[in-house]
Amino acid sequence: MSNFSFDDLQKKDLLTALGLWLVVEAVSFVLFPTLGLINPGARLRTWFLLSLPFGLGGAALVSMSSQFVAQVGDQPRKKLSSLIGQFGGWIGLAGIMFPFFVVCLEFFSTLDLPR
């Protein structure tokens, strides 16, 4: 076996995912509007409220999927289980990065390029 605890792995991944989400929140909802890169107006509040469950749920999904992948390492159907766990991790990362996706969409949709 290995010399790490599944609980420690899940806790570490949860804290890392939450830290990443907080940085993305700060950049997306504080830095970009302050610098004038985006001007979403009233939509900013809606995006922020949507990003809370997506970010927290995504962080939880990342930590659960990493523990799932670590636990199925010795099972006979390792490949399918590992693929399911990795898919869950990617969905969790999409939830964590939701604020950045929305801000990039706003930035590029209002970008005034010469024709």
What type of residue is 63? S
Q: Sorting pLDDT into bands at 50, 70 and 90, what band is 1?
A: very low
**pLDDT for residue 115 is more than 80:** no
Tens digits of per-residue pLDDT, 37-69?
888 888 888 999 999 999 999 999 999 998 888
Tens digits of per-residue pLDDT, 5-21?
667 888 899 999 999 99
Helical H runs in the chain? 6-26, 32-35, 43-71, 78-96, 98-109
- Are 58 and 91 spatial neighbours (Cβ–Cβ below 8 Å)? yes
Kindly tell me the burial class for residue 61, based on how many C-beta atoms sit within 10 Å of its own C-beta (0-12, 13-18, 19 or more): buried
15, HSE (Cβ side, Cα atoms, 13 Å)? 6
Can you tell me which residue has the tokens 């962080």? 59
Kindly tell me the burial class for residue 59, based on how many C-beta atoms sit within 10 Å of its own C-beta (0-12, 13-18, 19 or more): buried
Tens digits of per-residue pLDDT, 82-109?
888 889 999 999 999 999 999 999 888 8
**pLDDT for residue 26 is more than 90:** yes
